[in-house]
Amino acid sequence: MSTAAQRDSAPPRRATYQDVLDAPPHRVAEIVDGVLHTSPRPAMPHALATSSLGNDLAGPFQFGRGGPGGWWIIDEPELHFGEDVLVPDLAGWRRERMPDFPDTAYSTLAPDWVCEVLSPSTRRLDLLGKRPIYARERVGHMWVVEPKDRTLEAFELRDEQWVLIATAQDDDPVQIRPFEAITFSLGDLWP
């Protein structure tokens, strides 16, 4: 067999963390099933939805202001699950599972909750690539926010399957697991 034929029949090289480190600084780099994915920084509606949701949750859940506390709520944490490297828009860990905040560039401990804010460039990866990995890693809750449609869908992991537990739209009040201890307006996420 010729060298060219051997090269053509060889399986594609699996991405490594070095590929993430070598990605352009203005891109979000993730590895899903051995493939490097880079996405542009979020557009302003996406960034507003993420920031606003983080603000609504951090006060009562991270700092205990008007809520129970007991959580770490983090914007764009880097998560390492074996060869997979994911960067959700938001993630939360119960402090009983992560009592000490890590002093590392990434976490290998799966969060208890993730939120993906959809955009045209990340929709497919978020829903088809990352969602099964979150289930495999036993993330208990996943919220999916769609700024274009002004919607939120909340899922809970049951028997290794995502089950839709709630939806909200426009300026609906949101009081959804795992953050059912408070109510906020979904309208906070939109301009």
Measured CA angle at 132 (ends 134, 85), to 5 deg? 55
User: Could you tell me how many residues make up the chain?
Assistant: 191
Q: The CATH number of 41-189 is which of 1.20.1270.360, 3.90.1570.10, 1.10.1040.20, 1.10.1380.10?
A: 3.90.1570.10
What pLDDT is stored for residue 10 in this prediction? Answer: 74
Contacts of 36 (CB under 8 A, 6+ apart): 15, 19, 20, 23, 29, 30
pLDDT averaged over 10-residue windows placed end to end, the chain, 191 residues: 56 93 95 96 95 98 96 98 98 97 96 97 96 98 98 97 98 98 98 95
What pLDDT is stored for residue 29 in this prediction? Answer: 97
What pLDDT is stored for residue 7 in this prediction? Answer: 54
What pLDDT is stored for residue 11 in this prediction? Answer: 77
Measuring CA to CA, which residue among 99, 108, 118, 109 is closest to residue 49?
118
What pLDDT is stored for residue 8 in this prediction? Answer: 61
What pLDDT is stored for residue 4 in this prediction? Answer: 52
- Cα distances from 35 to residues 13, 29, 77, 124, in angstroms, run 9, 10, 19, 14
Tell me the whole-structure pTM to 2 decimals.
0.93
Q: Where along the chain do its domains lie?
A: 41-189
Q: Does an H or E element contain 89, and which?
A: none
